[in-house]
Amino acid sequence: MYSTVYSGGICGIRCFLAKVEVDMAKSLPSFDMVGKLSKEVTEAKERIKVALKNSGIDLKPTHITVNISPADIPKRGTAFDLPIAIGILAAQGFIHESLLTDTCIVGELGLDGSVCPVKGVLPIMLEAKKQGIKNFIIPYDNRQEASYIRDVTIFGVKDFCDALAALTSDDASMKVENKSLKALSETSDTDLDFSDVIGQDSCKRAALIAAAGFHHMIISGPPGSGKTMIASRMPSIMPALTDEECMEVSSIYSIAGKLSSQKPVMIRRPFQSPHHSTTLTALTGGGKDIRPGMISLSHKGILFMDEMPEFSKECIEALREPLENRSIQISRFHDTYEYPADFLLIGAANPCPCGFYPDRNRCECTESEIHRYQSRLSGPIKDRIDLIVTANKVDMNSLMQYQKGIDSKTMRSQVKEAHKLQLNRYKGTEYRFNSQVSAKDMKRFFKLGKEELEYMEKAYSALDLSARSYHKVLKVARTIADLEKSDMIRTTHLAEAMCYRG
């Protein structure tokens, strides 16, 4: 007696379609499980036996062997409970195997037979859909995130009896209604607005450029100058995720267990702000269960590092590869995992330990202390930053007058227009923003006139720019030109971009 049930698993950030094979033989009663399984997977046999008993189903005293393939991929989590239980009943002849040929089943079983929610349902279903699976049986509490997957039939079940009914009777009451991402609101969900920031016009201009071209930015300045205010308002000018980006980001959050019935999918760009005491594993990902870190949770969104020089050196230097490659590899003895990390880095830093340099009337730091503090952001890290700006102390007159500047709505509309230009420019390529263009395609997309080329030749020699810095200037200049709706990069655009090199 043999049966096969399709399910899904997660290995790092990668999902795979798993085949749960169940064989029942007339021999001494036992329950064996194989397939490179973790402890929580092997413990499923105890949960399954009790759950079936409490659901009114008695197992025959037979030798049960369960294999979850591919056998060379590690299996973790509790999502295999329900498919194993279904496979056992199919092997005993209670369920006809034809009902399982086009169905993927995931879910954890409680001892009372209830089906509990699991992590990673959304990406598992997306992968199974790619493999041609059209029917899904999932936990009832995971139905909200699953409902945004189109052209599939989904049953949300509360207990094991519901799962059986979904297979055998096609109960319409358990079907999950498909929803459209377009029905979700695109407006910002924050009350923070750039009009609240008094002064700091140069920093707000840099923030606009950063959002328009997805350029990394560091803001330096004394305490209370508005660095954190500016960074915390960046989400208010970022456009909503596209449908493809929404599924990509939501899959990461599903694996991390950060989706809920109130937030079933991510429609707005993430904003992560780790504390400076954050560990390297929490930032980059990994750990015992190989989970995504904060830089992956910032994928397609913003990673804000307040008091950036206070982060450990290993955390700061670990940003080198993600900033360049937009992904990060975590190597372990048994495998290598690649996490997406296409985030916009916003850093805030004081100029010295006390924060008041170069005001020598207030700064009490020695030259060596200032140098040591500023060198925590190494040259290779700064070279990967597109915009470095200074937030100066706000004068008394500006505070008293409290004149509101440009607001987030206006800035957001400018950013959206710039994004449209970039979408048209990079149509059919791997790029979406100016900051993503590689060196090999610079001449193709960033053409300079004779006057502009002469200007860059002089600047390259005078400022001793690296090749990466040279390309950063061109990318920022292209974004500035997009904001001004200019087809060509002009000298004025290059000059402004040069000012942001720090």
Q: For the domain that residue 425 is a member of, what is the CATH number?
A: 3.40.50.300
- For residue 411, tell me if it sits in a domain: no
255 and 361 fall within a common domain = yes
- Cα–Cα distance measured from residue 468 to residue 224, given in angstroms and rounded to the nearest whole number: 32
Q: pLDDT-based confidence at 9, cuts 50/70/90?
A: very high
| Tally of structural domains, the chain | 3
pLDDT in tens, 455-499: 999 998 888 888 999 999 999 999 999 999 999 999 999 999 999
12-16, 138-142, 308-312, 345-349: least confidently modelled range: 12-16
Q: For the domain that residue 156 is a member of, what is the CATH number?
A: 3.30.230.10
Q: Is the dihedral of CA 290, 291, 295, 300 positive or negative?
A: positive
11 and 152 fall within a common domain = yes
302 and 400 fall within a common domain = yes
Average pLDDT, the chain: 90
Answer whether the bond into residue 235 is a cis peptide, omega within 30°. no
- Mode of pairing for the β-strands spanning 2-11 and 14-25: antiparallel
Asked whether residue 335 carries a pLDDT value surpassing 80, the answer given is: no
* pLDDT > 90 in the chain, percent: 65
Contacts of residue 428, Cβ cutoff 8 Å, sequence gap at least 6: none
423 and 458 fall within a common domain = no
- For residue 346, tell me if it sits in a domain: yes
Q: pLDDT-based confidence at 333, cuts 50/70/90?
A: low
- The confidence score (pLDDT) of residue 343 equals 95
pLDDT in tens, 356-368: 888 888 898 999 9
Q: What is the mean pLDDT of residues 412-416?
A: 95
The answer to whether the CB of 302 falls within 8 A of the CB of 249 is: no
138 and 228 fall within a common domain = no
- The confidence score (pLDDT) of residue 274 equals 95
- Cα–Cα distance measured from residue 36 to residue 417, given in angstroms and rounded to the nearest whole number: 51
Asked whether residue 398 carries a pLDDT value surpassing 70, the answer given is: no
Q: For the domain that residue 444 is a member of, what is the CATH number?
A: 1.10.8
Q: Which residues pair with 328 in a beta bridge?
A: 339
Q: pLDDT-based confidence at 235, cuts 50/70/90?
A: very high
Q: What is the mean pLDDT of residues 244-267?
A: 89
- The confidence score (pLDDT) of residue 169 equals 79
Nearest in space to 457 (alpha carbons), one of 442, 438, 473: 473
Q: Which amino acid is at 163?
A: A
- The confidence score (pLDDT) of residue 126 equals 94
334 and 264 fall within a common domain = yes
347 and 449 fall within a common domain = no
Residue 153 φ then ψ, to 5°: -105, 125
- Cα–Cα distance measured from residue 285 to residue 328, given in angstroms and rounded to the nearest whole number: 9
Q: What is the mean pLDDT of residues 238-251?
A: 90
Please give the structure tokens belonging to residue 283.
Answer: 């930032």
Of 70-74, 218-222, 328-332, where does the model show the most confidence?
Answer: 218-222
Q: pLDDT-based confidence at 400, cuts 50/70/90?
A: low
- The confidence score (pLDDT) of residue 494 equals 95
- The confidence score (pLDDT) of residue 186 equals 53
- For residue 64, tell me if it sits in a domain: yes
Asked whether residue 18 carries a pLDDT value surpassing 90, the answer given is: yes
Owning domain of residue 454: 437-502
Pick 405 or 72 by higher pLDDT. Answer: 72
